[in-house]
Chain A
């Protein structure tokens, strides 16, 4: 076992819905190693996406601690959290979430505005990220001019543009056909294996689960035992 880059320690998270309290994570303890390609699977409402939100500091736990790279994420706040997130976390969403008014290159360049890089260097880095995902020939295309698979690959390029250590992917193949989904999974696998990224992927896709190096099944906010 390597060193855990992500640690959940007694994490509890609940939401209020229709006047009722729904516990989505219940005293969860979990370790994720650096460079792992991990799939989080389980039924809807089992807390998979909440885990991603807590790792990235998009949401706060009710109790417990989320430690990423030795840093307690809930303890960070304001600009400190934003800066930390920009440096360490890359997000990939199910709905791609590209900005429709920007080209592929501009979408990928967007997070690089947070760096002190000059325009030319930013463009170069964005172009390189798009090359990695195999879209060097689609730089000036707007999202609506791309297929779903291409859009998701642009989103992955955007997520890796800042060279983060962790990629958080929320149903990255959810809106894709099989071929496109396989391409995206292959890409995520390569980013983990060749570039050492820690990929944490929430998925309902069995094939995605098979491609990941480890699968954690969640049920009602706790890790479910896996049948042999």
Chain B
């Protein structure tokens, strides 16, 4: 027999009430983790971005292609190590619902600029050697059941082929990503394939490239190189906007409006609501146990004991519920990642989210127990016995 056992027994003396409280906290903590993870996952791509890469796009719009000739000129700017081309393809795989990103790019430069893309050596070479070859992230490979050697037909929307035929790409490699800034839901293929098709009239669509990705030379800062590129093209033919990779990623997040703030507000409201719920539970429990507290005091237990008992009970209930909710958030990651698909391809519950949820649980537990605890502690034994009768 000890006070912990007393707390446990008292908490479970009303099983339905305990279950409802634990359940409510579990749902709230799951929601909190879920909402926070949307924000942190969107943010992860920004945070994980490399400071050694900058991106040049049209100053007019991201949807405005830049001339292909810029590549050579940008490569001459001081501080530029390599330049690769990225063209948004926008193809449809079987059904418009099957959305995933596809980019025409320079294979060797891409893998050189993005060491976080992990691809087996034999896949690399096979891709380099096959102009119709493509690499796909493990996420879409698993989603659509693709493996190396499979043909992926994509119907061009920005770049339709003459006669309405689909483009056919051969999967030459399946990559994994080691960092959150690169998702595993994208297809990369040879930029030259697209350019040659446009040149020959085999396909229609805008010439050029959507963006240039630049890796900096050692010792150069992104801002000064970006400024140099933009200054170079200040007079046209088409003005550029060059920014660090992180800022470029952040622009995508900002396109969704003030989503992080909105989700943060919902999360805060969930926390406050669950705090009220647990306070309510503890207040009812405290009222029922007024006499018990009087008895304990009459036995010689100090005023600190009720405080301890109530704080232990509320913290215990919240931690059990919170643990379940946090566990659920951990368990549902793969399912939610699949559900979000390309919207949040790197959805995951971050370590700091688990920590924040645990801290929130302890905080709510202590706060919820504090009000009845202090009231019980202040009550004189004779009053507790009389009022609890």
Question: Are B1 and A86 touching (Cβ within 8 A)?
Answer: no
Contacts of A85 in B (CB 8 A): 298-300
Query: A79, A85, A109 — which one has the most chain B CB atoms within 10 A of its CB?
Result: A85
Which of B5, B300, B385 is close to A82, meaning CB atoms less than 8 Å apart?
A: B300
User: A56 — nearest CB in chain B belongs to which residue?
Assistant: B298
A102 in contact with B1 given A82-B300, A91-B298, A111-B299 (CB within 8 Å): yes
Per the 8 Å Cβ criterion, residues 290-304 of B in contact with A are 291-292, 295-303
Question: Are B389 and A106 touching (Cβ within 8 A)?
Answer: no
**Interface segment, B6-14, B148-156, B187-195, B244-252?**
B6-14
Question: Are A95 and B389 touching (Cβ within 8 A)?
Answer: yes
A79 in contact with B6 given A58-B382, A110-B1 (CB within 8 Å): no
Taking the closest CB of chain B, its distance from the CB of A61, in whole angstroms, is 12
Rounded to whole angstroms, the CA-CA distance of A58 and B295 in the bound complex is 11
Which of B2, B295, B382 is close to A97, meaning CB atoms less than 8 Å apart?
A: B295
Q: How large is the interface on B (under 10, 10 to 19, 20 to 34, 35 or more residues)?
A: 20 to 34
Contacts of A86 in B (CB 8 A): 299-301
Q: Is A72 an interface residue (CB 8 A)?
A: no
Question: Are B298 and A58 touching (Cβ within 8 A)?
Answer: yes
Question: Are A91 and B299 touching (Cβ within 8 A)?
Answer: yes
Rounded to whole angstroms, the CA-CA distance of A138 and B312 in the bound complex is 30
Rounded to whole angstroms, the CA-CA distance of A102 and B5 in the bound complex is 9
Q: Is A122 an interface residue (CB 8 A)?
A: yes
Q: Is B17 an interface residue (CB 8 A)?
A: no
Per the 8 Å Cβ criterion, residues 69-108 of A in contact with B are 78-79, 82-87, 89, 91, 93, 95, 97, 99-102, 105-106
Taking the closest CB of chain A, its distance from the CB of B85, in whole angstroms, is 72
Question: Are B380 and A58 touching (Cβ within 8 A)?
Answer: yes
Per the 8 Å Cβ criterion, residues 84-116 of B in contact with A are none
Residue interface mask B276-309, A partner, CB < 8 A = 1: 0000000000000001100111111111000000
Which of A82, A84, A99 is close to B295, meaning CB atoms less than 8 Å apart?
A: A99
Which of A101, A106, A110 is close to B299, meaning CB atoms less than 8 Å apart?
A: A110
Question: Are B9 and A111 touching (Cβ within 8 A)?
Answer: no
User: B9 — nearest CB in chain A belongs to which residue?
Assistant: A101
Q: Is A59 an interface residue (CB 8 A)?
A: yes
Q: Is B381 an interface residue (CB 8 A)?
A: yes
Contacts of B295 in A (CB 8 A): 91, 93, 97, 99
Taking the closest CB of chain B, its distance from the CB of A144, in whole angstroms, is 12
Taking the closest CB of chain B, its distance from the CB of A106, in whole angstroms, is 4
Q: Is A53 an interface residue (CB 8 A)?
A: yes
Taking the closest CB of chain B, its distance from the CB of A166, in whole angstroms, is 13
Query: B6, B10, B300 — which one has the most chain A CB atoms within 10 A of its CB?
Result: B300
Taking the closest CB of chain B, its distance from the CB of A215, in whole angstroms, is 24
User: A107 — nearest CB in chain B belongs to which residue?
Assistant: B1
Q: Is B3 an interface residue (CB 8 A)?
A: yes
Q: Is A121 an interface residue (CB 8 A)?
A: no
Given contacts A59-B382, A110-B1, 10 further A-B contacts (CB under 8 A): A53-B382, A83-B300, A85-B299, A86-B300, A89-B300, A101-B10, A110-B6, A110-B296, A111-B300, A122-B1
